[in-house]
Amino acid sequence: MRKKLLSIVITMCLAMSLSTTAFAATTSSMSPSSKLVFDLSNQDLNSLSTENLNKFKQQVNSLSDSDFDSFIVGYLTKEKDFSKIKNNLSKLGVELQEPKKGNDQSFSIQSFEAWNLELEMAIAKRASDSYYRMITYYTPDTNESRPASYDAIVVYWDKATGKFSGKGTSSSTYNSLKSSSNSSNGTVVFNSYDSKFTSSTPTQYVSVYVTPIGSSGEIECAVEYHHSCYTTSFTGAALNPAVDYGGKGAVSGSVGVSINWASTETVWGIGDENAIYY
């Protein structure tokens, strides 16, 4: 009987050891941003000691710009309770302003419609940073079977109240900087490679960093996502169409953008608005 009981205990200990090892292996393979999201999602920060809170703060402040952007997007998409996210991040010295859904849609006949793309802009700032981040994140839920030119993501802000301080993208597979030549005029344009989209494409983002100017306490900002496709098949238009600047952008204090789509392309756009409060 004792041998049987001992065997059961050894088996249980071995199973627990293997489970712990597997768990450790899983978390050790995560990126710094993913691990931080995982850890925060499994912690009650209200019950943590000051020492342990400081450890989390150090992790947040040690993240690179791209890892911090990824962390914010990962946390927002994993946790659906925004008040919990905001409360947790405030304990770690991070300001977060809630994304505002305000999509302005126009539709056309194609396989990938505006409702197949969820687009939001969040505002975030670490206590250790002098600038705010306008992080636009989007999740496609299908593929484009008739892709044309690269899609364009245009980020606007009021240049009178915010100075361009940098930018970021989530993945060279899905997006890239297209033009920052008018960043001093409150406008930056990114490419989005919609031909790579599938129903399992993870959430992607583009980000623009701005440092407040003056004491108005607000920087108005907005984003537009422009999608193009062919109603029949590819006809040889340039994949990376040129951009012209002029006129007023989506918010006051930014310059407008005109993308030189081919005449054979069909285009729709969606947008979102927000503001940085400081």
**Domains, in order of start, for the chain:** 28-94 (no CATH), 99-277 (2.60.40.1170)
Radius of gyration, alpha carbons of the chain? 22
Arithmetic mean of pLDDT, 183-199: 93
Q: How high is the pLDDT of residue 51?
A: 95
200, pLDDT greater than 70: yes
Q: How high is the pLDDT of residue 195?
A: 87
| Greater model confidence, 12 or 158 | 158
Q: How high is the pLDDT of residue 236?
A: 55
269, pLDDT greater than 50: yes
Per-residue pLDDT reduced to its tens digit, 132-184? 999 999 988 777 777 788 999 999 999 999 999 999 999 999 999 999 999 99
CB 70 within 8 A of CB 78: no
Q: What pLDDT band is residue 109 in, cutting at 50, 70 and 90?
A: very low
Q: How high is the pLDDT of residue 115?
A: 54
Q: Which helix (H) or strand (E) holds 2?
A: helix 2-28
Arithmetic mean of pLDDT, 15-23: 43
108, pLDDT greater than 60: no
Q: What pLDDT band is residue 18 in, cutting at 50, 70 and 90?
A: very low
273, pLDDT greater than 60: yes
CA distance 34 to 39: 9
Q: How high is the pLDDT of residue 143?
A: 73
64, pLDDT greater than 90: yes
Per-residue pLDDT reduced to its tens digit, 83-95? 999 999 999 999 9
Report which DSSP code applies to 230. -
Q: How high is the pLDDT of residue 22?
A: 39
Range among 15-29, 62-76, 248-262 rated most confident: 62-76
What is the DSSP secondary-structure string of 25-72? HHHHTS-HHHHHHHHHHT--GGG--HHHHHHHHHHHHHS-HHHHHHHH
Q: How high is the pLDDT of residue 80?
A: 84
β partners of residue 192: 151, 175
Q: How high is the pLDDT of residue 17?
A: 47
Arithmetic mean of pLDDT, 72-76: 97
Among 19-23, 28-32, 184-188, 195-199, the range scoring the smallest mean pLDDT is 19-23
Length of the chain: 278
* pLDDT-above-70 percentage for the chain: 81
User: How far from 228 is each of 7, 71, 102, 204, 240, CA to CA, in Å?
Assistant: 65, 30, 21, 18, 11
Residue 276: count other Cβ atoms within 10 Å of its Cβ. Answer: 24
Per-residue pLDDT reduced to its tens digit, 20-36? 443 444 456 789 999 99
Q: How high is the pLDDT of residue 271?
A: 86
CA distance 58 to 103: 36
Instruction: Tell which phi-psi region holds residue 55, choosing left (phi > 0), alpha (psi between -120 and 50) or beta.
Output: alpha
Per-residue pLDDT reduced to its tens digit, 223-241? 999 988 876 655 555 588 8
Please give the distance of CA 232 from its chain centroid, rounded to a whole number. Answer: 32
